Structure 1
Amino acid sequence: MAGQPRSKIVEARRDYNTWVATETLEDYALRFTPRSFRKWPEWLVANTATGGLSFLALEAIGGSLAISYGFANSFWAITVVGTIIFLTGLPISYYAAKYHVDIDLLTRGAGFGYIGSTLTSLIYASFTFIFFALEAAVMAQALELYFHLALWIGYIVCSLVIIPLVFFGVTLINRLQLWTQPIWLALLIAPYVCILYKEPQAFSNWVHFAGTSRSGAGFDPLLFGTAATVSFALIAQIGEQVDYLRFLPDSEEIHPAKWWLAVILAGPGWILIGCAKQLGGAFLATLALAHGIGLARANEPTQMYRVGFEYVFANPETALAVTVLFVILSQVKINVTNAYAGSLAWSNFFSRLTHSHPGRVVWLVFNVAIALMMMELGVFSTLEAVLGLYSNVAIAWVGALVADLVINKPLGLSPPQIEFKRAYLYNVNPVGVGATLIASLVAMAAFLGLFGPTAKAFSAFIALGLALLLAPAIALITRGKYYIAREETLSAAEAHQCCICRQTYERQDMAFCPVYDNPICSLCCTLEASCDDICKHSQETPSGQPVDLSQAPLRRIFRDKLSPQLGQRLLRFLLVSLLLSSLVGGTLGCIYYQQVVSVPDLPAIAAQRLTATLVEAFAVFFVLISIGSWWLVLTQESRRLAQDELDKQNLQLQQEIQERQLAETQLNEKAQQLEKTLDSLRQAEDQLIQTETMAALGRLVAGIAHEINTPIGIGVTATSLLMEKTRAFSNRFARGAMRRSDLEKFLATAEQSSKMALTNLERAAELIQSFKQVAVDQSSESKRIFNVKSYLEEVLLQLSPKLKSTQYRVEIQGNAHISLYSYPGAFAQIVTNLVMNSVLHAFGPAAAGAIAFEFDQRDQQFVLIYRDDGQGIPAKNLGKIFEPFFTTKRAQGGSGLGLHIVYNLVTRKLEGKIRCDSQPGQGTQFTIELPLA
């Protein structure tokens, strides 16, 4: 499957749990830190990073070195190691601040590869819980001294109190370090000032302090090297500094001098204060011995500062209280950093191995739990042994990392940028991984004495030198081809949306996934378990074969004598069992050192029994580890086989989808043809509608012409007759032949003609007014609330002049409190037209009858019923009454527009309904329904 093209996987939405989705808690664990989250000023970032320097393990290490190796050896060991730590920390801090990545992401892109950096994550995580255990043990000692709290209970208290402080990540840690920094600095400096003021000879005593060193106060190269190995364990502290440096703003946003100052103070500058604190611890240890504290406890920071604060406060109780306060404050400040950095390290470690990320908070608790277990096992009593062994591995890692940054990148052996995304990295880069493994194994062998006492003393320097030499050598041999697995193909947009979690991230945190055929964020890419890194397997070597570091050695070793599957199983089995066995062996080794080597008066028989017991325990564990490792290998292989089967099914499904898409394309073509046919039908329909509209407009114009032509024609005839009679009257009057009877006859004719013309002109005016009611837009009228009964009475009062000459009686029935939110003008027009229609059509001008209004509310509707007891409407005319110009009383002045206007106002203006019911001889009823709102 590795060399074959893989089918596209259907995108499945991934919803993270609340811890992972809330960046206030998560602080972009496993991610590039985006610009939107880098909101703190440079001085606050530097203050937070330097706040972690409060850890009293520095004083404990300095005190232990001074007691074991004397002043000269411890002084030069601290000074030389501090210089090396500063120089190695500077490039690491620069690249982390420039690319805004934590120490794990930086390690990935600087020679270790995506899976290879899990080794360094484990190294770094070990550093965090080892020093968490050391610091919490110091705080528990203070609680025991002041509150008489049992140490095992103090360990639990000192561990649990840190969890809520680290829960909200760097946001809360920023505030904690800012508030506590001034108090801590004052308490740190005060003892030294008072000691040197009250007892100046104490400094001289320290300079001549020999401790238990075989060289006395003088310098011994072997003792110097052994002391330096212990001090070298602090080199991994740069990882914790980097975890805060990634929040530093871009160098373009602030002054370059301020940016560099923040990088140095928050990064390698920590060792300047760290060396001063180690030397201070050595000084206080000699002072504690002078005050009667035994060798076994003189290196405990609680005892050191208790003696120191007695020079500040005359009252011993006050000095003890301030000592406990200082120790608790110091340990809280550092352990929030240890716990925070450990949560990030474990998140990186397990996310790549398990393709799962339950959240940084889960690994925070996990890291604290491991530290608590170490405290209960008595880690403080084996401080030098633990740190000496650990430093060889830590210095090999940091040395390989620095070699890539300061040698390989300038020489062009590695890419200039830091690429940390899984999509573009090889799983294992032999440059960093090979250099670290070889250097650490050789250094550990030297530390165990396999190469003689000189190599044992300088094992840390051996680890550093080998790492610095091996990293560029391996990069040169491999020509740097294991850094970038494939070229980046993501578009140049500033932000992209992840196709899995649907969140938008900056371009630096995104990659293009050919399996999903869409952009994907770095975290979703990390957690993807089904793609099998097919995007990187498709990258081929010049020979045409895909690069696979895990299979290349197998071909050379087995030469096709064994099946490739068996070779891969054996390699995975050896790797897993070796890793787990090393962890168990290291743990049992620490127990052996603590229970056998560090006990000088232990009887030989007891030592042999304990040694045999530990060996037997390791043998049992080794058998269990072997069985479990083989089971894990087979389980993983089964998962891969199942995944391959799913891939085949997925490919078949995609083929079916393609076939269906082809059929859908054909259907779309037919649909387009149907659409064209429908367009043709719509055009024909539009033409028919236009034709019908023009025909209806012609009928309307003809009706208007007919309606207006009749009164105007009669008026013209009457006016012509009047003019003719007027001329005849004028001629007779001029001749003097006018008689009184002729004058009376002329006046009667003139009066009749004038009345006829006036009547027809009024008729024409009424028609024009009706046309205006049909055509004029009443949208300018606003809705308002009005009482229905009061408004009906007002409208009928306005109609009373026209009703005076008749014998109609009008009744109104309904709830007097009902109001309507509508257009009152349109409502009045409806009532007016209904009444006038009854007067003209139902009764006639001289008839008498009854008109009734009844209104009510029914089912969120306002219902108005209008009825008269007139002649009624024949059934043949009932369907035409709302048509324009339809009337049966044309000769009596009816225009046929009154009910048409009513219909338009009810259905369009008021958005209601109107219905007419009538029986000839029994009257007519109109039912109007209007919406209440």
Structure 2
Amino acid sequence: MKLIDPASRPANAFGRKEADLNGKNEAMETHSEAEAELRRARDVAEAANAAKTRYLAAVSHEIRAPLNAIFGYAQLLERDGAIPPVEAGQVIRRSAEHLTDLVEGLLEISHIESGVLKLRSDVVPLPLFLDHVVDMFRMQAEAKGLAFDYVVKGRLPRLVRTDQKRLRQILINLLSNAIKYTQAGSVALSVSYRNQVADFDVTDTGIGIAPDDIERIFEPFERGSSPGANAQPGIGLGLAITRLLARVLGGEIFVRSAPGEGSSFKLRLFLPEPNSARTSDPDVSWVTGYAGPRKTVLVIDDDLSQASVMTGLLRPLGFQVFTASQATEGLALAGLCSPDIVLLDVQMPGLSGWQVADRLRAKHGDAFPIVMVSASVQEYRAGGDGTASHDVFVTKPVNLEALLDVIGRLLGLEWQSGRAAQAPEDAELLPPVNAGRYFDKLRLLAKTGHVREIEKTLAELAADVPESAPVVAALRGHLGNFDLRSLVKMLDDVDPR
């Protein structure tokens, strides 16, 4: 029989109570921590909702303003024949350009943030690349009465490896803003390179940025609070895209500024020199055609303007192009024209592009590759894996270089090209009839550096004046090298009016 010391009973009872209290305290602490975590999650969710609301409000405002202008002038033209059509057309065109910039900017941000953006690994002739960018912006600065300084600190490598298109896009955004927000004085670009790291410094004597605004200006639709900041045209997406692209490329952007004292934006990027096995001069030529039998392209797109752009891009290079504006028409035409490749829009009335692709594969098998084209990155689906009906997905607006890469790879083409600077010497280019108004527009666009509009105008010229194909191909050569001075010179040589 075990004897229990009565004196130990209070101690045991006290121990049990203490353990019970400790357990309750731990439960209360756990409960408090859970409540705090819930509060933090709620605050984050509310902040996200507020940001989403501000974002949607900003998008709605940016869309509504140009739409009101288009709608208003359309009504005026319907009711009053005395309204000057040129003035109305200019307002409508500017409003449409604003909407296009807005949509493309939003798609760019969505593309980057969703991880769909694919970077290229180009071998870039850095000094030549920078000279072309500087030439374009020096003209813009001089047209505004500003001095433009370009300084190279130390030695620059002859070649570096990076995504040339994205680097150009970042520098264009930074230099465009510098000129836009500077009314007097100067804009400067200085470049230095050390240990495979490049610094691009864009400085100006403009209105400056308040310290509290420096982080905010990198948010979509945000601008600085300095006087005059909101008076400048634009959609407020440039810096947001610029910083996202810089980070995707593995770099960063730093800002130093003060109101009334100008601004300095520094882009720092890792730009390695190519391996010795790849240090030959990069191909800076532009495609003018391809070797071998002529290829047939079928474009299925309910947007006639998009089909026209595709035709204008491809026909001058020697492709036979057929277009269909409806899914059923495209399905029938595929059996008649025996295409070598099909470019198929995703969003169409009736049958979607995906359904059309399925039917084309069911009827024709692998007789031709199918390239899906869409303005929405949300439509993206991987292709070419043996299970999908399509081979490749590309986004609108279609970049000619990227499109030719896809077509060349899928059809095994050997591209023919000639250096842009040599184009006028390679053959005597005659001025095509009825191209004068296009040439005038191209001169103006080249002098203002509006590259995207130059490409659109060249596509329109190629589609409207088929005999201009040799001139268009040569002009695209200069545009591909970003050599706008040579482009203007060729326009003057071919059409010396």
- The TM-score, its normalising length taken from structure 1, stands at 0.24
| Rg comparison, structure with higher value | 1
The structure where strand makes up a greater share of residues is: 2
- The TM-score, its normalising length taken from structure 2, stands at 0.43
The structure where helix makes up a greater share of residues is: 1
Higher relative contact order (CA 8 A, sep 6+): 1
